[in-house]
A and B are shown apart, each in its own frame.
Chain A
């Protein structure tokens, strides 16, 4: 099996706020060479690196907004988020949990820091990803997978040097907790210092990682620091990650959909006409209703 080399290491950009509760570095699609086509099917990655939010009685967050045409995946590393959507789903995403929301034909949702967390204040650290849907599923029914950490299957590394949490896809004999509409692998590798894990994905899959905590060596040589994002070449299948400091690494690899992308704000479709339709449908209440 051929080694998969790093194509580029991307440093975090200046953070910006999404609503008033998410202070994020955007990697996909605005990062250098990390546009939607290159990263397909991963079309957005916002990373809220650890940030202290002081106590407040009014939870911070993002008010009601729509989505259509893709899935949002929220991975909580620190802090808690409360979520409500127009399909009547609601829940709290706590440390280590994952929320996988299939917006598909359309959903309204809002995301706020959980009430108690807001009152106490604290460090907040999250990843939000948008995973594109194949054209034939873009208008399917919305659904919601709230996945607690205990529901995520874990692959233990040798000598207790860590675990690979399989959020989606497969690692070794372990299958991911989330169901997906196209082949997607999404893992959290939690590595002790010196812990090492190898990963194998088809060369054609778009593959990347984010160092959420610690510091790693990739393929034995290249050092990647905390908060940095690695895009791999579409050649070779195998790479290895070794923690030079105790680390958490988000690993992403997905089969590109290779379909046209038309994106505007919270809608990602295949054509401009479908975007206009999404805007019309949203304005006319066809996404339902959700109280602010």
Chain B
């Protein structure tokens, strides 16, 4: 749990003895590519911190088509925060795109860390606000932006995922067809490729 320990230490000012007690409250899980951590209809009990590997959250529509909401690579947290907070069934699936090691963070852990550390409480607040900001931007992009702008935004947010994720998943995340994504990439190559 090297990454998680580093992450938690950076976000909190918890004294070492308390830290050692607190860290016992998270658990660690290795899952294989394709394994599911959350199914639609279940209540999301954890946030999943990615130690290494790659997760995605997605919905499945009535026709069985997947719509990717979020990717989470190393040091990202994937969860359904509202399901966890309101104790409601989630609309989301969360599964692994690569063999992945995750740290399971419960709300108990978050509550206790917030009590022990004001900086963690503060961090958790900022993380929530960040999450809202990100969601708002994403809604706006999906409603109003061109395929190219969505792609440009994606490569800024997730620079190395174009190497780790199949095209159709990126297209699904962007809310465009794989053909549109190909067209965008082709046009970019046309604009930027200079043979040497």
Q: Is the interface of B mostly helix, strand, loop or mixed?
A: helix
Q: Is the interface of A mostly helix, strand, loop or mixed?
A: loop
Query: How far does the Cβ of B146 sit from chain A's closest Cβ, in whole Å?
Result: 16
A87-B195, A288-B193 given. 8 additional CB < 8 A pairs?
A: A66-B163, A139-B196, A265-B163, A279-B159, A279-B163, A283-B159, A286-B194, A288-B195
Q: Are A289 and B195 in contact (CB under 8 A)?
A: no
Number of residues from B at the complex interface, CB < 8 A: 20
**Which residues of chain A (61-114) have a CB below 8 Å from chain B?**
65-66, 87, 105
Tell yes or no: A223 within 8 A of B by CB.
no
Q: Are A282 and B189 in contact (CB under 8 A)?
A: no
- Complexed CA–CA distance, A279 and B155 (Å): 9
Which residue from A264, A265, A279, A289 sits with its C-beta under 8 Å from B193? A289
Query: How far does the Cβ of B167 sit from chain A's closest Cβ, in whole Å?
Result: 7
Of the stretches B19-27, B38-46, B104-112, B180-188, the one at the interface is B180-188
Q: Cβ of A139: which chain B residues have Cβ within 8 Å of it? A: 196
> Could you give 13 example pairs across A and B, Cβ below 8 Å?
A66-B163, A140-B196, A265-B164, A279-B160, A284-B155, A284-B192, A285-B192, A285-B193, A286-B194, A287-B189, A287-B193, A289-B185, A289-B189
**Which residues of chain A (246-292) have a CB below 8 Å from chain B?**
264-266, 276, 279-280, 282-289, 291-292
Q: Cβ of B155: which chain A residues have Cβ within 8 Å of it? A: 280, 283-284
Residue of B nearest to A264 (CB): B160
Tell yes or no: B162 within 8 A of A by CB.
yes
Residues of chain B at the chain A interface (Cβ within 8 Å): 155, 159-160, 162-164, 167, 182, 185-196
- Complexed CA–CA distance, A291 and B187 (Å): 12
Query: How far does the Cβ of A44 sit from chain B's closest Cβ, in whole Å?
Result: 16
Q: Are A105 and B196 in contact (CB under 8 A)?
A: yes
Q: Are B186 and A282 in contact (CB under 8 A)?
A: no
The tally of CB-CB contacts under 8 A between chains A and B is: 54
Q: Given A87-B195, A292-B182, A285–B163 Cβ distance below 8 Å?
A: no
Q: Given A105-B196, A265-B164, A288–B189 Cβ distance below 8 Å?
A: yes
Residues of chain A at the chain B interface (Cβ within 8 Å): 65-66, 87, 105, 139-141, 264-266, 276, 279-280, 282-289, 291-292
Q: Cβ of A286: which chain B residues have Cβ within 8 Å of it? A: 189, 192-194
Q: Given A265-B163, A292-B167, A141–B185 Cβ distance below 8 Å?
A: no
Query: How far does the Cβ of A162 sit from chain B's closest Cβ, in whole Å?
Result: 42
Q: Cβ of A264: which chain B residues have Cβ within 8 Å of it? A: 160
Q: Cβ of A66: which chain B residues have Cβ within 8 Å of it? A: 163
Q: Cβ of B162: which chain A residues have Cβ within 8 Å of it? A: 279, 282-283
Of A65, A66, A139, A285, the most chain B CB neighbours within 10 A belong to: A285
Q: Cβ of A287: which chain B residues have Cβ within 8 Å of it? A: 189, 193
Q: Cβ of A291: which chain B residues have Cβ within 8 Å of it? A: 182
Q: Which 5 A-B pairs have CB atoms at the shortest separation, nearest pair first?
A: A285-B189, A285-B188, A289-B189, A283-B155, A288-B193
